């Protein structure tokens, strides 16, 4: 799907600042086991997940349109005779 996002976690324990990169292959993310420390973070995470689902749906729709277009072009008659 070629969709990813990143998060910067400042002062992440003993390690210092951390940059977390995530590749989203399946945009249907289950956040039920997650514990949000702040309602604003939960809102942000839900916005990111909603955008991932939206982009995933758009990519699927685009692939379906391309496949349908290929089917239609494949059904057109071809001229195998000499040009002229």
Give pTM, 2 decimals: 0.47
The size of the chain, in residues, is: 84
Rounded CA-CA distance 19/27 in Å is 21
Reply yes or no on whether the pLDDT at 8 is more than 50: yes
Tens of pLDDT along 14-65? 777 777 766 666 667 788 888 888 888 888 888 878 877 777 777 778 888 9
Letter string b/e over residues 12-21, b meaning 16 or more CB atoms within 10 A of that residue's CB: eeeeeeeeee
- pLDDT-derived band at 1 (thresholds 50, 70, 90) equals very low
Break the chain into its structural domains and give their ranges. Answer: 4-75
User: Which pLDDT does position 7 carry in this prediction?
Assistant: 73
Rounded CA-CA distance 59/24 in Å is 13
Question: Higher pLDDT residue, 14 or 66?
Answer: 66
Q: Is the dihedral of CA 39, 42, 48, 53 positive or negative?
A: negative
User: Which pLDDT does position 83 carry in this prediction?
Assistant: 57
């Amino acid at each position: 799907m070629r969709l990813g996002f990143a998060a910067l976690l400042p002062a992440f324990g003993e390690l210092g600042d951390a940059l977390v990169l995530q590749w989203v292959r399946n945009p249907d993310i289950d956040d039920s086991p997650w514990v949000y420390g702040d309602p604003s973070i939960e809102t942000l995470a839900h916005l990111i997940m909603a955008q991932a689902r939206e982009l995933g749906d758009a990519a699927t729709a685009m692939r379906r349109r391309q496949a349908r277009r290929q089917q239609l072009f494949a059904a057109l008659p071809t001229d195998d005779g000499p040009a002229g």
